[in-house]
Structure 1
Amino acid sequence: MSRIRTAATGLVVRDGHVLLVKGDWPQPDTWLPPGGGQELGEPLHRAVEREVLEETGVIVRAGQLLFLREHIPANHEDGPIAYDRNHRVDALFWCEVVSEPSKLGGSVPDPTHTGVEWVPLDKVAGLRMIPLYLRDQLTDVVAQATAGTWQTKYLGDMA
């Protein structure tokens, strides 16, 4: 490990759909919420707003922190996803849409991204998605976050 990398990711939900990026990493046709690395001096809530805009073209306002998760590579040598070798700390925020372009697509997409879509919430369970914990809990997270009853969770060190 060479450093700790902090990142912010946005859970953006509108009209029964979740905003997801499609990519070829770690396997073809993998879906993930938009997000990425925090810049030096940038608060995490601003990082998620910037990353969602850069990757999707959607302007959001960061809301509640939903999950905080770490990934320590030395603990997951045989894990299913080959992350970079840095210790990662990822924050997932509930985000509200402020405005969106007529056509989805960001100005600074990740090189492994192949598209961005509003995916029906009831279709997410059948997708290859990272992080896995989010796919498996998405329905409950959306219901509770929408109702204002979600409690922020620290997930610890996960693959």
Structure 2
Amino acid sequence: MNDVYIRNATSGLVVRDGHVLLGRGDWPQPGTYWLPGGGQEPGETLAACAEREVLEETGVRVTAGPMLLLREYIPANHSGDRVPPGSNSHRVDALFWCHIVEEPDVLGGTVPDDGQTGVEWVPLDKVGALRFIPAYVRDRLVHLVALGEAGGPGGYYAGDVP
């Protein structure tokens, strides 16, 4: 029997003046964008993980507000996803609305993701046309920003979605 690998991760949704803070890179294809985030460390809360990951990848210091989305992703359940033979992975992602505490003069984190080539503020109305991972989040980003701007709880569980 194969071991099951479960990975908890978080992302931070940081918005300023109608722009969303995004990482940019060459994975899985050149010109791909994503919300800053990554894996939870032992002993770390999900909110603290989001704060750390945003800082490491962008240089922007934030505090995590309400959780907007809890999403699972089990690659073996989605046709067309490349899953290594024998793998049995399962990812649980929490997306937090984040408030800016401090922003550097020049964007750029100290621990960028592998394949990350930059960080930028992208107009929210331009995100829908970007190559973005995961597409599920891109397609709901306007709604998620509205939830975050409302300031209270109101996130949702999405289940196992690509």
**Do Structure 1 and Structure 2 share a fold, with TM-score over 0.5?**
yes
Question: Is 1:76 the counterpart of 2:74 in the alignment?
Answer: no
Cα pair 2:68 2:147 within 8 Å, conserved: no
Identity score, percent: 61
Change over 3 Å in CA distance of 1:48–1:78 after alignment to 2 = same
Structure 2 regions of 5+ residues with no counterpart? none
Name the amino acid aligned to 1:143: A
* 1:104 maps to 2:104: no
Contact 2:66 2:152 in 1 (8 A): no
Equivalent in 23, 39, 42 of residue 40 of structure 1: 42
User: 2:138 matched to 1:135?
Assistant: yes
With normalisation by structure 1, the TM-score equals 0.92
Contact 1:66 1:150 (C-alpha < 8 Å) held by counterparts: yes
Matches within 5 A, 1:20-59: 20-59=22-61
- What is the one-letter code of the residue matched to 2:62? V
Are the equivalent residues in 1 in contact too, given 2:67–2:153 (CA < 8 A)?
no
Q: 1:67 aligned to 2:34? A: no
Q: How many residue pairs end up in the alignment? A: 158
Runs of 4+ in 1 over 4 A off after TM superposition: 81-85
- Alpha carbons 1:26, 1:82 under 8 Å: kept: no
Contact 1:141 1:150 in 2 (8 A): no
Residue by residue, what CA displacement relative to the aligned partner does 1:108-154 show, whole Å, maximum 9, x if unpaired?
00121010001111111111111112211212221232123661110
Normalising by structure 2, what TM-score?
Answer: 0.90
Cα distance in structure 2, aligned partners of 1:18 and 1:151: 20
- Verify: 1:86 aligned to 2:89, yes or no: yes
What is the aligned-residue RMSD (CA, Å)?
Answer: 1.8
Whole-Å separation in 2 of the counterparts to 1:82 and 1:14: 37
Q: Distance in 1 between matches of 2:75 and 2:137?
A: 20
How far residue 155 of structure 1 moved from its aligned partner, in angstroms, is 0.6
Contact 2:147 2:155 (8 Å CA) reproduced? no
CA offsets, 1:41-75, max 9 Å, x none?
Answer: 10000001000000000000000000001111221
1:11/1:92 contact within 8 Å kept: yes
DSSP 3-state at the match of 1:48: helix
